[in-house]
Amino acid sequence: MNKTKRFAFYAASLAVLFTACDRSVIYNAYKPIPFTGWNKDSAAVFSVSITDSVSTHNVYINLRNNSSYPYCNIYLFVKAISPAGDVAGDTVEYMLTDAYGRWYGKGFSKVIDNRLAFRKFVRFPSKGMYRFEIKQGMRNDILPEISDVGLRIERVDGQ
């Protein structure tokens, strides 16, 4: 296992430990991207069991990139499929650096960890298994320097 992958593994393990104590987090998972790059046809797929259709939730896309990622932004195609089979799709753009090339995300060494707000104050209409699919929407067929894509869903505090 090379240093970058080992670091990513340890960082993911620590993230799981720290979020395990946070009762507002109802889902937090990552999918690794091959070292060769993120193919435009490959989706990071997350299946989430929603048991609360009353509370509001915030949905985040977590993205880990190497500091040599060649762009200041990323476009993503996000699809959510409800237990009833209803499909909602969206194209979103996230800025990953400021105008001077400084990363917005947190990290040390070469791995930058980004938590990108996808939807805030969401009420899931029904209980059941929801499927989220995330694809890269850049012009590259193979997008380099992305190591992991994740999904995080939190119940909004005060509920």
Residue pLDDT, tens place only, 69-117: 999 999 999 999 999 999 999 999 999 999 999 999 998 779 999 999 9
Q: What percent of the chain has pLDDT over 90?
A: 82
Q: Is the pLDDT of residue 144 over 80?
A: yes
Look up the domain containing 40 and give its range: 3-155
Helix, strand, coil content of the chain in percent (nearest 5): 10, 50, 35
Cβ–Cβ < 8 Å for 101, 109: no
Write the CATH number for 40.
2.60.120
- What is the reported pTM? 0.83
Overall residue count recorded for the chain in this entry: 159
Residue 133 structure tokens: 């699919």
Q: What is the pLDDT of residue 46?
A: 98
What are the φ/ψ torsions at residue 32 (nearest 5 degrees)?
-75, 145
Q: What is the pLDDT of residue 11?
A: 52
CA dihedral over 85, 92, 61, 64, signed as positive or negative? positive
Q: What is the pLDDT of residue 9?
A: 53
Q: What is the pLDDT of residue 108?
A: 76
Residue pLDDT, tens place only, 12-39: 554 544 444 567 999 999 999 999 999 9
Reduced to 3 states (helix: H, G, I; strand: E, B; else coil), residue 4 is helix
4 confidence band (pLDDT: 50, 70, 90): low
* CA 148 and chain centroid, separation: 8
DSSP per position, 27-81 = EEEEEEPPTT-EETTPPEEEEEEE--SSS-EEEEEEEEEETT-S-SEEEEEEEEE
Domain count, the chain: 1
